[in-house]
């Protein structure tokens, strides 16, 4: 009977799996395996908010970010005929973690241009007024340099 070297069977990896990395990796630990019901950590946050009467809304992320996330703001129900401009007005922090943001929305307004002698043409002011009532999709993504 062969008395070769005993190789212990692999054991399950019981820690939280790593998130994605910029380059990816196949893994190399033959002594551990991933269990079938494992879950990788969330890298994104998707939230929907409605702007209040002053054109503001606070979006609470569905996960925290250790560094400033990239944020995409898209109007879902812009309503009206004038365009909507959106921006992150400020960040909501818990210690040094980013846990949300305040979204500011503006609605464009159109005015006539006064050229002194004649009034002609249109002037679009993208930040003319509040975009109250607009529903906004807020998608936050972990920065790829992390």
- What is the average pLDDT value for the chain, to the nearest integer? 83
Under 8 Å between Cβ of 69 and 140: yes
pLDDT in tens, 66-82: 999 999 999 998 887 77
For the whole model, what pTM was predicted?
Answer: 0.70
Q: Is the pLDDT of residue 122 over 70?
A: no
pLDDT in tens, 8-53: 888 888 877 777 665 667 777 778 878 778 777 778 999 999 999 9
| Interacting residues of 95 by C-beta distance below 8 A, sequence separation 6+ | none
Under 8 Å between Cβ of 108 and 123: no
């Amino acid at each position: 009977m062969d008395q070769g070297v005993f190789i212990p069977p692999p054991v399950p990896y019981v820690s939280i799996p790593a998130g994605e990395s910029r380059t990816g990796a196949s893994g190399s630990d033959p002594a551990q395996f991933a269990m079938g019901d494992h879950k990788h950590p969330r890298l994104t946050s998707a939230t929907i908010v409605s702007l209040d009467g002053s054109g503001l809304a606070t979006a609470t992320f569905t996960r925290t970010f250790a560094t400033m996330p990239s944020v995409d703001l898209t109007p879902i129900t812009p309503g009206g005929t004038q365009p909507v401009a959106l921006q992150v007005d400020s960040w909501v922090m818990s210690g040094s973690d980013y846990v949300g943001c305040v979204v500011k929305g503006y609605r464009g307004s159109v005015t006539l241009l006064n050229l002194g002698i004649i009034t002609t043409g249109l002037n679009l002011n993208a930040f003319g007024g509040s975009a109250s009532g607009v529903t906004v999709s807020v998608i936050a993504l972990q920065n790829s340099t992390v």
